[in-house]
């Protein structure tokens, strides 16, 4: 059966757009299928993505060396992506991870950084107060601070940059979403909501949480998608200037497991502090659940929880407004992304990134590209092989 493309990437989010760029740089006949961001989220009838935002934390420091390595390799390519696309998506403001002094979380974080040659600074409670006077951390904590190669990215702008570079390298960008993928006569057949049928030698499904939708894989991936509510605190220009030295923050303390981003200017021209960290999990059961969830503003109880944390953590700010937004995270049994083939030799999957992969998306996408190009992921220095699990 004749094919339209050699490789088709289904999903044009952070990982999918990255995979398409890496593929198109090495081979002709690449297509990437995924819609643009909807103008009206509540009226939108198609699929959604969590990258419709301006703030995601980025850093190498992580207690898990595999995640640290995924991030470190991606961050090392930020400059190239920004230069070649002429799209600015990264702010190097540093990142600090704070946790109870007696926990092993900080030591594992520090050791992972050391193994990758990343410079960090260990701060006790007094050191945290001296270096970051705008934070009121809980007592009994210490921190690992990564000043260089860390901060925050605009996931919206990064996807735009990756899509642009994939297209410049020769990839075909199809602005639609996929409703079915199947193997037929030794090729993969992809059908879109708009009625287009594309055939490819190989397909890589990189649809984030929507990878659990029906009719996309021979068997569903063993992945749980959870609803998440992020909260945005609008601050005035004066506060934005005063907090200009604020790094990105990860805080673990009794009853608190959050990330916080410093003031970021959003498309409406206003500055917002962004915080995330739901106190519980709300699982979404499928495509319809996810679409309905993305049309909401999230959960009020999460907003109240995060508001209390910000009031204690950054006591000197008086927000001009407080708003919330809905997103999702996708968790796998291994705790790592799934990058591998399904039971069909024509259909592979790249998904399940635990809500922590925006920073690491270029390296995860590169691994997905290598899977299609080589048939497997070679030795990369990771202690996991990213094998997918299916239900």
Tell me if 99 sits within 8 A of 248, measured CB to CB.
Answer: no
Asked if residue 167 has pLDDT above 70, the reply is: yes
Question: How far, in whole angstroms, is CA 310 from its chain's centroid?
Answer: 23
Asked if residue 249 has pLDDT above 80, the reply is: yes
DSSP letter, residue 209: G
DSSP letter, residue 199: E
CA–CA distance, 193 with 296 (Å, rounded to integer): 23
- Count of helix runs (H) and strand runs (E) in the chain: 10, 20
Which residues lie closer than 8 Å to 86 by C-beta, 6 or more apart? Answer: none
- Percentage of the residues of the chain whose pLDDT score is greater than 90: 94
The confidence score (pLDDT) of residue 207 equals: 96
The confidence score (pLDDT) of residue 228 equals: 97
The answer to whether the Cα torsion of 299, 304, 309, 315 is positive or negative is positive
Find the mean pLDDT for residues 116-144: 96
Written as six digits, the tokens of 131 are 């270096």
Find the mean pLDDT for residues 321-333: 96
- Full 3-state SS string of 17-51: HHHHHHHHCCCCCEEEECCCCCCCCCCCCCCCCCC
The confidence score (pLDDT) of residue 355 equals: 87
Which residues lie closer than 8 Å to 251 by C-beta, 6 or more apart? Answer: 98, 99, 137, 257, 258, 259, 260, 313
What Rg, from alpha-carbon coordinates, does the chain have? 21
Phi, psi of 127 (to 5 degrees): -65, -40
How far is residue 234 from each of residues 23, 62, 132, 315, measured CA to CA in Å?
A: 40, 29, 20, 14
Asked if residue 233 has pLDDT above 80, the reply is: yes
CA–CA distance, 235 with 243 (Å, rounded to integer): 10
CA–CA distance, 391 with 382 (Å, rounded to integer): 25
Q: What is the pLDDT of the chain when averaged over all its residues? A: 96
Please report which residue ranges of 29-182 form alpha helices under DSSP H: 65-75, 78-85, 105-115, 125-131, 155-168
Which residues lie closer than 8 Å to 300 by C-beta, 6 or more apart? Answer: none
Find the mean pLDDT for residues 254-281: 97
Strand runs labelled E in 154-247: 172-174, 178-184, 187-192, 197-205, 223-235
Q: What is the pLDDT of residues 270-294, one digit of tens each?
A: 999 999 999 999 999 999 999 999 9
Which residues lie closer than 8 Å to 82 by C-beta, 6 or more apart? Answer: 88, 89, 90, 161
The DSSP secondary structure of 241-265, one letter per residue, reads HHTTTPPEEEEEETTEEEEEEEEEE
CA–CA distance, 249 with 135 (Å, rounded to integer): 10
Strands 151-153 and 56-58: antiparallel
Q: Given the structure tokens 């961050």, which residue do they identify?
A: 75
Find the mean pLDDT for residues 69-86: 98
Question: In the sheet that 56-58 helps form, which strands lie side by side, from edge to edge?
Answer: 56-58, 151-153, 90-91
Q: What angle do CA 277, 281, 284 make, to 5 degrees?
A: 120
At 1, is the pLDDT very low, low, confident or very high (cuts 50, 70, 90)? low
- 3-state DSSP call for residue 10? strand
Q: What is the pLDDT of residues 291-315, one digit of tens each?
A: 999 999 999 999 999 999 999 999 9
Indicate the helix (H) or strand (E) that contains 307.
helix 300-313
CA–CA distance, 350 with 79 (Å, rounded to integer): 24
Asked if residue 43 has pLDDT above 90, the reply is: no
At 255, is the pLDDT very low, low, confident or very high (cuts 50, 70, 90)? very high
CA–CA distance, 143 with 121 (Å, rounded to integer): 8
Q: Which of 42-46, 104-108, 198-202, 300-304 has the lowest mean pLDDT?
A: 42-46
């Amino acid at each position: 059966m004749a094919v339209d493309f050699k490789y088709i990437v289904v999903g044009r989010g952070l990982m999918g757009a990255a995979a398409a760029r890496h593929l198109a740089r090495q081979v002709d006949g690449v297509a990437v299928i995924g819609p643009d961001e909807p103008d009206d989220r509540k009226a939108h009838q198609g699929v959604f993505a969590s990258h419709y935002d301006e703030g995601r934390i980025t850093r190498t420091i992580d207690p898990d060396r595999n995640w640290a390595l995924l991030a470190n390799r991606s961050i090392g390519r930020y400059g190239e992506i920004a230069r070649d696309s002429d799209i600015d998506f990264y702010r190097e403001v540093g990142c600090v991870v704070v946790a109870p002094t007696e926990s092993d979380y900080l030591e594992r974080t520090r050791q992972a950084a050391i193994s990758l040659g990343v410079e960090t600074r260990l701060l006790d409670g007094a050191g945290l107060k001296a270096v970051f006077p705008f934070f009121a951390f809980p007592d009994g904590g210490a921190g690992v601070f990564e000043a260089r190669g860390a901060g925050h990215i605009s996931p919206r702008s990064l996807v735009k940059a990756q899509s642009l570079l994939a297209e410049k390298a020769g990839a075909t960008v199809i602005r639609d979403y996929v409703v079915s993928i199947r193997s037929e006569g030794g090729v993969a057949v992809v059908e879109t909501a708009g009625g287009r049928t594309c055939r490819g030698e190989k397909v890589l499904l990189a649809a984030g949480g929507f990878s659990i939708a029906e009719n996309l894989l021979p068997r569903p991936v063993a992945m749980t998608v959870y609803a998440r509510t992020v909260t945005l605190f609008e601050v005035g220009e004066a506060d934005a200037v005063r907090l200009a030295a604020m790094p990105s923050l990860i805080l673990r303390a009794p009853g608190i497991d959050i990330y916080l981003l410093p003031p970021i200017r959003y498309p409406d021209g206003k500055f917002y502090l962004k915080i995330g960290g739901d106190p519980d999990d709300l699982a979404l059961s499928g495509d319809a659940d996810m679409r309905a969830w993305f049309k909401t503003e999230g959960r009020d109880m999460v907003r109240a929880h995060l508001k209390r944390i910000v009031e204690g953590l950054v006591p000197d700010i008086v927000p001009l407004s407080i708003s919330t937004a809905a997103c999702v995270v996708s968790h796998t049994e291994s705790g790592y992304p799934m990058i591998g083939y399904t039971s069909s030799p024509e259909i592979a999957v790249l998904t399940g990134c635990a809500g922590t992969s925006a920073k690491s998306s270029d390296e995860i996408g590169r691994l997905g590209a290598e899977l299609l190009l080589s048939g497997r992921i070679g030795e990369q220095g990771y202690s996991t092989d990213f094998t997918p699990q299916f239900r």
